[in-house]
Amino acid sequence: MAIAPWSRLSADEMQLLRTTFWSAGGSRHGMAEQLGFSRSKANALIAGLVEQGMLAEAGLQPSSGGRRPERLQLNDGLGVLVGVDVGATSLDVAVLGLGLQVLAHVSEPAEVRDGPGVVLARVRVLIRQLLVQCGLDARKVLGIGVGVPGPVNFERGQLVNPPLMPAWDSFSIRDYLREDYAAPIFVDNDVNLMALGELWRLKRSLSNFLVIKVGTGIGCGIVCHGEVYRGAAGSAGDVGHICVDQDGPRCHCGNLGCVEVMAAGPAITRMAMEAAEGGESQAMADTLKAQGRIHAEDVGQASRAGDAAANAIVQRAGSLIGQMLASIVNFFNPSHVFIGGGITRIGPLFLAAVRQSVYQRSLALSTRHLEIQYTPLGAQAGLIGAGVLAMQESLRVRGVAP
């Protein structure tokens, strides 16, 4: 493993680096306060880290009276992060600055079922291309974060019994990518990374919230006590197989009426095909004729145009997901639920149906201050989260001074 630029820093200096990363653009006074350092101690540490090229002072913050405090950030000259977001049917790779700004990004369709050999070979090519595009070589990469759509053993960086991608079971993504990069590589579940991304965006200002991803499957990222929570075996947040109808259709997991089989992307497509073929919607019948199939986005488009059958489908999916969420909200009492994934392109009616279902079924005390909205980081939540993971863990594993 390569030597990190911060491998020789003291424990206090490392703490300051971590705090700077998490408070991105915070003032030096704010930082000193957070760390419980005196101003003079903080100033001395900061001066040293600026001199060593670790930190950079970045312009001035709006004054709150008196001398204007300088904003601090990690020095972008140190290197870059790589974020990889492997979806069930898509692949996103990005090169990110240390403030999580996207320097280069590519998104393309991919079939996770093709197995790790095919998908990761493509990941390798894309990372190389993006680095070239940025004029950087592999040695500039400080950390790599990879999100995958299945349960992960976080310590080992391996998938464990992933239902959507059986060929990946126990495959070491870390070992595979290690051939090209000296930087440390970290793997986590895609929704956990979305939660981590939002936690970073929020500068940890919320301690207890959920991120629900609705796409091919349904998963949930959990932030508890200000940290991403992965569960006893790494499978926390596996909410797609919560039962919402005991007489519902059979799911690939073997049970009946799982919310995933009734309300995720494929279920929406299936309901739309039925509506088109049953003559319930001219708009969707036209789409089916033109494209040979109907995507969830098409249902959203028809719904926005006022198609009654499309509206009913969007509402049914939202209501079922809200029903599942109601149970979770009663149990976990989060302050916020952020919904992300492909479903966000289906339009506002979906969110309204989710909210109605949760507010109706959850207890008043649990929902009094609850906010349900789409993920503020949008489609990039997973990529940003992968970058945050790469940086956070790199600062952790290589953070011990010799």
Q: Which residues make up the interface to its own copies (CB under 8 A)?
A: 151, 160-161, 207-209, 220, 222, 224-225, 227, 229-239, 241-243, 245-246, 253, 255, 323-324, 326-328, 330-335, 360-366, 368-370
Q: How far apart, in whole angstroms, are the C-alpha atoms of residue 372 and residue 349?
A: 13
Least Å from the CB of residue 312 to its own copies: 18
User: Residue 258 corresponds to which tokens in the numbers above?
Assistant: 């799982």
Which residues have C-beta within 8 Å of that of residue 164, sequence separation ≥ 6?
88, 112, 113, 149, 150, 216, 217
Least Å from the CB of residue 322 to its own copies: 12
User: Residue 374 corresponds to which tokens in the numbers above?
Assistant: 């789409």
Q: How many CB atoms lie within 10 A of CB 275?
A: 24
Q: How far apart, in whole angstroms, are the C-alpha atoms of residue 201 and residue 195?
A: 10
Least Å from the CB of residue 42 to its own copies: 20
DSSP 387: H
**Nearest residue (CB) to its own copies, 86 versus 242:** 242
User: Residue 177 corresponds to which tokens in the numbers above?
Assistant: 């990518």
**Nearest residue (CB) to its own copies, 177 versus 218:** 218
Least Å from the CB of residue 248 to its own copies: 11
CA Rg value for the chain:
23
**Nearest residue (CB) to its own copies, 130 versus 259:** 259
Query: What is the tally of helices (H) and strands (E) in the chain?
Result: 14, 14
Least Å from the CB of residue 286 to its own copies: 35
**Nearest residue (CB) to its own copies, 25 versus 249:** 249
**Nearest residue (CB) to its own copies, 245 versus 297:** 245
Least Å from the CB of residue 90 to its own copies: 24
Determine the straight-line distance between the first and last CA of the chain, rounded to whole angstroms.
15
Contact 144/113 with Cβ under 8 angstroms?
Answer: no
**Nearest residue (CB) to its own copies, 161 versus 282:** 161
Contact 210/221 with Cβ under 8 angstroms?
Answer: yes
Bridge-partner residues for 55, per DSSP? 74
**Nearest residue (CB) to its own copies, 138 versus 160:** 160
Least Å from the CB of residue 371 to its own copies: 10
